[in-house]
Structure 1
Amino acid sequence: MTLEPVLMLTLQVGVPALLSLLLSLACEPLVQPRPAPFRQRSRATLSIHVGTWLVLYALALLVLQRGWLSAGLLNVLYLVVIQSCRSKWDSLKEPFLVQDFEYFLDAIRHPRLYVPFFGLGLAIAASTSGAAAFLAFLWWEPSLITTHGAMVWLLCVASIGGSGALLLGTGLTRLPSVTLDPQTDLHRHGMISYFWAYGLYPTEPLDPSLVPDCLREPHRTASPGSPSSESLSKESLSKESLPNMVIVQSEAFFDPREWQPDLPRDLLPNWDRMRMQALASGPLRVPVWGANTVRSEAAFLTGIDNAALGMHRFMPYRPMASQAIPNLVSALKQIGYRCVALHPYPASFYDRERVMPMLGFDEFIDISSFDVAERDGQYISDKAVARKVHELLAQGSGVQETGPRETGPKETGPQENEQPLMVFVITMENHGPLHLEPASSEWRNRIPHHIETRLQQRDADTLSVYLRHLHNADSMLGELRDSLIEQPRHGLLCWYGDHVPIMEAVYESLGEPSGDTHYLVWSTRDACQPTTMTTAPTKIECLAQRLWQDLAQRQTLRDQAESHQTESERTAPRAAHGTQQQGFELQEQQ
């Protein structure tokens, strides 16, 4: 081979490979949170970065047969990942994870949930310019097969790919260990080595012993803190004595008046009233900020601390899609419950269509059971979801719905009291991106002036949109309370927020909330114990145990509570299974 072909090959393959590698090293400091400089990290991380880049370049060269096009495409994709890291850190306070790459497919299926956080204008500009550049290089740059022949092209691919694989393999054998704290590990490893470390981290099946005893062996153990050592078994619990249970994981619900005390005091009227009547209420410590709902969801249902899941903590539903593990649903089914999951979004999202049956749900109702006209804003309204829950409760009790809802006992069918019902609800109305929805003047005007003046107009609109949907969630809470009171069977309601909302620009101006959400546990019966209102956060993985504890206490004290019921209470205006006061309140409302 003469000098001229060698020089041309160097310009077509070697130079773009070197420049793209140097550009990737120069761009790594753009990642948020920022990794440590290479000089402060293990040498293995540099070897892994260079080796990975050369292997990827060789693969691109194998497919595209053009050096400059391969280098350009590689750097563009690298910048997309960097921007994704920055966007996730700004919105969710968590670095981009190797597990997050599968969200790129979700972004295609559900673009509204993801693309706006990346930046809609940036996404359009990057896609358009990237496509134009790709086509231009494809037309302008000649193929290596055409200019040098297939043998030379394959030799280039093999030499570059082989060198990269050697460097990568050497680096991986000396890869530093990880802590599973993404911020710490990204800082210590750098982005590419951090991805490799998390991708290669060993994963094992979930350990059932991590599930609390009361959920793992419901027939043998009472719940922690129960006043009785009696087990919750089919022998000690009649189905008639068990309450209907409605559990609501309310999207982005928390009481923002604790964060900004000057927000309207009447923002959450039903919440305020029920919190005073609740068996328990207070702040809730959740494992996420702004998103990743399934981490809160899995912690609640299984009672397992998110940190105890190892690498599964980031995607807890991945192993649960193929592994049955004891949980609240399976425990309730063992004592006679029929369990229904309700989520007004496609069942395929987060693989819930596989996970929910594995958890033990008898039925999973998704968005296909709703009409597009039932939206409020971008998603199915909380009001429509409350209506669906009411229908499930009425069907379960045999109540014949023939007209407007009324107070008092209903005409019931033969299925009355045969099987208690548990409905687990995952709402969507208050899901972001909030800034895509126009603000209503009514709610914009309800923001106190001194708060509004500290915000940009767009950010004030975002806050007003959130507050409006939050108020709608409170209305749903009141509707569920009324539905439970109306049923022949008494009821238990658990309500909690999965995470705080994504409003990063608002937080920059007003300060960040703690990250805790709020919860309450409420019953249609008089509480069998004094109301517990806590100021210290309750961990979400302990909340299901709290519900189980209430079932144990209620069975033990049921006869005693009923024996103290006076004749005046029996004849006072009330619903089928509400307290006297609840009966008066419901009568006044209707």
Structure 2
Amino acid sequence: MKNVLFSLFCTVVFSILFDRFTRPDRCGGRGYTLHILSVLTFYGATLALTGGFWVACVLTDALFLALVIASNIKFRVLGEPLVFSDLAVAASFLRYPRFYLAAIPNFLKIILIPAVILVFGCVIAFSSTAPAAHFTGLLILLASLLSFGAGWKFYWCSSVMFQPDLEADIVQYGLLPVLLIYTLRWRATSSPPPAQPLPAREPGTDPVPLLIIVQCESFADPKDLVPDHPLAPLNNFERLKTISDHYGTLSVSGFGAYTMRTEYAVLCGRDEEELGFRAFDPFLTAQDECTFGLPNRLAALYEKRLFVHPHDLRFYGRDRLMPALGFTTLVGPDDFAHAETAGPYISDKAIGDYLHDRIVSAEKPELIYVVTMENHGPWDAGRLDATDALTAWERHAQNGDALLGSLDRILRDCGRPAHLIFFGDHRPSIPGYVTPSKIRSTPFISLSYHNHEKSTLFADINIKPAELHRSILGKYKTNPRN
């Protein structure tokens, strides 16, 4: 009995101590009942499985400490604490560790394997087959779950965290309660009524334009990216501003990552306020909202609707999701097997070459949504022969601008009606140069070619990505030809 009580005490005390290291800084005493019940639930489950009181203590606190460290690293690099949806992409760490390892400090990389070996050694050495210990763990597990269930039904469900406010909730309640309650709120979020597709154009109306939408990886304005280190402007973007329908900045929610948030908003047009807790990773529930997908809504206008991305389409589940959103063809890494690379990824020039061939050979107008890959981090010194990470990013950004310029020339020369929308998905996270801040906007531009409609005067505007979706749909009003 003394063992279980003392190990329980140590488990709870150390977990509370670790919680105080969570960033942003924990403030006040709210959330500790939820925290303790969460800790006891895992302690009970581990004790029921291993029969070792100190094994349960070490595993529970080790896991929570790992969550705190991961959350703090993420907050430092991306400006956002750990959230429940991050666990859904954990498998991608094993598939593409390079995306994540650069953010982990070297001393943690050094101690990681010894720490894992030590924990498993404790499990082997101190586990027990004594039935009483396993039964005690089961009782603690059941009691914790029943207590949480009662607390959720009669108090927490109607009193805490109704709307996502991640940083403020971490400060008030701590990491474990936020992970738990946000998960429950996310699961309880209902899907909206289906969206209606646009009708086919009637005879006598303007022809359907070719529609090219380019989501350019880590594309940002170099002039305002690093205030004390001015970089060369994006010449094509600056030149095309004066002939655009409109241009400006997108107020994206993510910094240095979370491509899927911007991608979903442009494809489906649902604001974060509408999504609620689904906004942290809208791809997880996008199949429930697939009628909002731009390709589905424009299906009557475009027989062929292509999604182009020269990287593993299993990332974020795009291989399953994009057909559900209405794309008829997926163009992935196999289609770029022999294409030119720039750094470790398929070059933006290769994307431009593919689009050139597609545009000049298309017999009918097509919808083509492109997600580039060239400027994906991490940026290391030596990449594209750059002396540092910022210079490497800048050279890739100029290649993205060159892609915009080449698409402009192609669409001018093709002689058919067309729309081009080009935007950045998020700003880059480059430690030492570009760090998280409240300013997260990326550039966008919308251009029209060879159409019969009068173009809107160019204007510098700031909009949300979902508003860009609505702007695209607004181009498809069936006005009769003048």
TM-score higher than 0.5: yes
Counterpart residue number, 1:299? 265
- Correspondence 1:361-400 to 2 at 5 A: 361-371=327-337, 374-397=340-363
* Alignment of 1:189 onto 2:173: yes
2:473 maps to amino acid: W
Q: 1:4-63, CA deviations, whole angstroms, 9 ceiling, x for partnerless residues?
A: xx6xxx34x44333212210011101111123232xx2xxx3222222212211221233
Q: Report Cα offsets for 1:317-336 as digits up to 9, x if no partner.
A: 22222443233222322124
Q: Secondary structure at the match of 2:270?
A: coil
Alignment of 1:484-495 (within 5 A): 484-495=411-422
Question: For residues 333 and 18 of structure 2, what CA distance do their matches in structure 1 show?
Answer: 42
Residue 182 of structure 1 aligns to which amino acid in structure 2?
Answer: L
How far off is 1:158 after superposition? Answer: 2.7
CA deviation profile, 1:206-253 (whole Å, cap 9, x unmatched): 3247x6xxxx3523xxxxxxxxxxxx6244546xx2221211011111
Would you say how many aligned residue pairs link Structure 1 and Structure 2? Answer: 476
Q: Output the CA distance in 1 between the equivalents of 2:188 and 2:324.
A: 20
CA distance in 1, matches of 2:136, 2:477: 71
How far 1:104 moved relative to its partner?
1.9
More relative contact order in 1 or in 2 (CA 8 Å, sep 6+)? 2
Change (3 A) 1:14 1:363: same
3-state secondary structure, aligned to 1:21: helix
* Shift in alpha-carbon separation, 1:465–1:260, aligned structure 2, 3 A: same
Which residue of structure 2 aligns with residue 177 of structure 1? 160
1:283·1:534 contact (CA, 8 Å) conserved in 2? no
SS in structure 1 of the partner of residue 103 of structure 2 = helix
- CA distance in structure 1 between the partners assigned to 2:216 and 2:80 by the alignment: 22
* Partners of 1:75 and 1:495 in 2: CA distance: 47
Question: In structure 2, what is the Cα distance between the partners aligned to 1:256 and 1:86?
Answer: 28
The alignment partner of 2:313 has SS state of coil
Instruction: Give the equivalent residue in structure 1 for 2:375.
Output: 430
RMSD in angstroms over aligned alpha carbons? 2.7
SS at match of 1:81: helix
Give the 3-state SS of the residue equivalent to 2:420 in structure 1.
strand
Give distance in 2, aligned partners of 1:331 and 1:234.
16
CA distance in 1, matches of 2:381, 2:371: 21
Determine helix, strand or coil for the equivalent of 2:100. Answer: helix
1:47 aligned partner: 33
2:311 is aligned with what amino acid? Y
Q: Which has the larger radius of gyration?
A: 1
Match of 2:66 in 1: 80
Change (3 A) 1:76 1:37: same
Aligned equivalents of 1:548, 1:200: Cα separation in 2: 34
Structure 1 residues without counterparts, runs of 5 or longer: 1-5, 220-231, 398-418, 445-460, 560-590
Task: Return closer, same or farther for 1:285/1:462 CA change in 2, 3 Å cut-off.
Answer: same
Between 1:83-92 and 1:528-537, the stretch displaced more is 528-537
1:202-281 aligned within 5 A: 202-208=187-193, 216-219=196-199, 233-237=201-205, 241-260=207-226, 263-265=230-232, 267-281=233-247
**One-letter amino acid matched to 1:155:** F
Letter in 1 for 2:382: P
- 522-531 vs 74-83, which deviates more? 522-531
The TM-score normalised by the length of structure 1 is: 0.74
Query: Residue type of the partner of 1:484?
Result: L
2:444 is paired with a residue whose SS is strand
Equivalent residues in 2 for 1:415-564 (5 A)? 419-434=364-379, 436=380, 438-439=382-383, 444=387, 461-507=388-434, 512=437, 514-525=439-450, 528-529=453-454, 532-552=457-477, 556=480, 559=482
Pick closer, same or farther for the CA change 1:329–1:341 going to 2, 3 Å: same
Q: Give the TM-score taking structure 2 as reference length.
A: 0.90
Residues 219, 397 of structure 2: 8 Å contact kept: yes
SS at 2:224's partner residue?
coil
Shift of 1:300: 1.1
Render the CA deviation track for 1:477-501: whole Å, top value 9, x for unaligned. 1222233234353322110111111
8 Å CA contact 1:203–1:310 kept in 2: the answer is no
